[in-house]
Amino acid sequence: MSTIANTPNVLEDQHILYYNDYSVCSLMVRASIALCNGYTDKCLNIDEQPVNIHLGDQNSEYFLCEVNPKGTVPVLTLPNNIRGRNITDSIDITAYFGKYYPCLYPMEFSNEIGSLLGELHAINFFSLTYTHKPQRASDMENAVEKRLSDPNISARYRKALQFKRDIIHNTRTPALTVSVIKDEESKATSFLSKLTELLEHTSNGSSNTSQWIFGSLEPTALDAHTIPFLARLFDVGREDMVSERLKTYACRAFKTKAWIDMMGGRKTVFSAYL
């Protein structure tokens, strides 16, 4: 896997998508394109660059100082190297893709999609994923501390690493306490029950055979973000949180060529934390 050490060569109209195969938010944005390919004739030039977040590539000087100070993936850079305009959040990246893939936000559902995506991303995925793997948080802290212990790093890099360390302290380590995990589970349950209702509404008493949440012919942004989330819940043994209706929905989605090609048989969680 590549290390993010140097400024990549970028074509004029090219976007770069920094991602990781085991990052649920990266899978959400990649699914936004993968599921919708074939439903657009517009072309989006994207160079997909893997970032090995388990080896710490997101903590490199280049990544923290030039790509994303939060040291997270996914990140989308815009064409012509517009500095300081990288998109560093998966909801915003999918919204940007919506200009090229209108099926992601059909007009009649776009408000509901926005509000449900907000609800999904208010869930701390870290709490649900690493519930029984607290070493993930300490591994992250140690990786940053190790880089900070090098006396020869530049002042800007030291500052960036200290900022990243604060993020880990504030958002990762506390996410694994019993009470926070409980809160995140109940947020997830509430989100999932809304999806079950929507799917029941779509399939009940109508001849609609669409496989997607809103019964549309094409997948929306809500499908693109929900499918990786469900895959993640299954991978960490949380299938008991998922209704039968949602399981049927997920199984159908996992059989699409787009999903199979994107996942290449991988789980959504890095093997060391399974």
Site pattern 159..178 for ligand GSH (x: CB under 6 A): --------------------
121 binds ligand GSH (CB under 6 A): yes
By CB atoms closer than 10 A (0-12, 13-18, 19+), residue 11 is exposed
Q: Of the candidates 53, 213, 224, 230, which one interacts with ligand GSH according to CB under 6 A?
A: 53
Tell whether residue 23 is a contact of ligand GSH (CB under 6 A).
Answer: yes
> Residue 71 interacts with ligand GSH (CB under 6 A)?
yes
Type of residue at 216: S
Min dist. Cβ of residue 17 to ligand GSH (A): 12
Q: How far is the CB of 140 from ligand GSH (least distance, A)?
A: 6
* Cβ 208 to ligand GSH shortest distance, Å: 31
Stretch that binds ligand GSH, among 70-78, 101-109, 184-192, 204-212 (CB under 6 A): 70-78
- Per CB under 6 A, 58 contacts ligand GSH: yes
HSE at residue 178, side-chain half, CA atoms within 13 A, is 0
Q: Is 25 a binder of ligand GSH (CB under 6 A)?
A: yes
Give the count of residues interacting with ligand GSH (CB under 6 A). 13
Residue closer to ligand GSH (CB basis): 24 or 246? 24
| Nearest residue (CB) to ligand GSH, 158 versus 245 | 158
233 interacts with ligand GSH by CB under 6 A: no
Question: In the set 89, 119, 183, 185, which binds ligand GSH (CB under 6 A)?
Answer: 89
Is 24 among the residues that bind ligand GSH (CB under 6 A)?
Answer: yes
Q: Output the smallest distance, CB 201 to ligand GSH, in A.
A: 27
Q: Give the DSSP per-residue string, the chain.
A: -----SPPP--TT-EEEEE-TT-HHHHHHHHHHHTTTTS------EEEEE--TTTTGGGSHHIIIII-TT--S-EEEPGGG-TT--B-SHHHHHHHHTTT-GGGS-GGGHHHHHHHHHHHHTS-HHHHHSTT-THHHHHHHHHHHHHHT-TTS-HHHHHHHHHHHHHIIIIIGGGGSHHHHHHHHHHHHHHHHHHHHHHHHHHTTS-----STT--SS--HHHHHHHHHHHHHHHTT-GGGS-HHHHHHHHHHHTSHHHHHHHTT--SS-GGG-
Query: Is the separation of the CB atoms in 222 and 113 below 8 Å?
Result: yes
Cβ 58 to ligand GSH, closest distance in Å? 5
- Tell me if 228 contacts ligand GSH by CB under 6 A: no
Binding site for ligand GSH (CB under 6 A): 23-25, 53, 58, 71-74, 89-90, 121, 140
